[in-house]
Amino acid sequence: MIKWREDYSLGVENIDQQHKHLIEIANRVYDAHKNQFYVDKYDKIVEILKELKDYTIYHFDEEEKFMKEIGYEGYFMHKIEHQKFIEKIQAIDLEKIDEDQDKYLLDIFNFIADWLVNHILEEDKAITK
């Protein structure tokens, strides 16, 4: 699981709240992976991935508006990183989920967790320096 740490904070309230929500979504992936009471996790995986995609698009849009407002010089490179993440999420093959749902959930969680933590600490932190 990912726990919010103060060093993730950018000091921009709405962006920080959105990052917290993205972490909550990632943790739901982890919870679904660990939940032994779900016999078939397919519907849960699809539901979480849809929310992740929709919320990520919303968040990136808000973050990009903020970068434009403050005249952030790294805007275009940052936007490219956002687009790569969205493309990765959109490229997830939902038909492959049933082959090994738990492995699939763990792979998704690891990808999201690594990307979020690294992106927040490296890319997003540069916005407010």
94 in any annotated domain: yes
- What CATH number does residue 64 fall under? 1.20.120.50
109 in any annotated domain: yes
State the maximum Cα–Cα separation within the chain, in Å, rounded to a whole number: 50
SS3 1: coil
Mean pLDDT of the chain: 91
63 in any annotated domain: yes
37 in any annotated domain: yes
Average pLDDT on 22-28 reads 94
How many distinct structural domains can be found in the chain? 1
> At residue 86, what are phi and psi to the nearest 5 degrees?
-60, -45
3-state DSSP of 7-42: HHCCCCHHHHHHHHHHHHHHHHHHHHHHCCCCCCCH
1 in any annotated domain: no
Lowest-confidence region among 20-24, 44-48, 124-128: 44-48
Look at residues 7, 119, 128 and name the one whose alpha carbon lies nearest to residue 72: 128
31 in any annotated domain: yes
44 in any annotated domain: yes
Average pLDDT on 5-10 reads 94
**Domain ranges, residue 119:** 6-127
Check residue 36 and give its pLDDT. 81
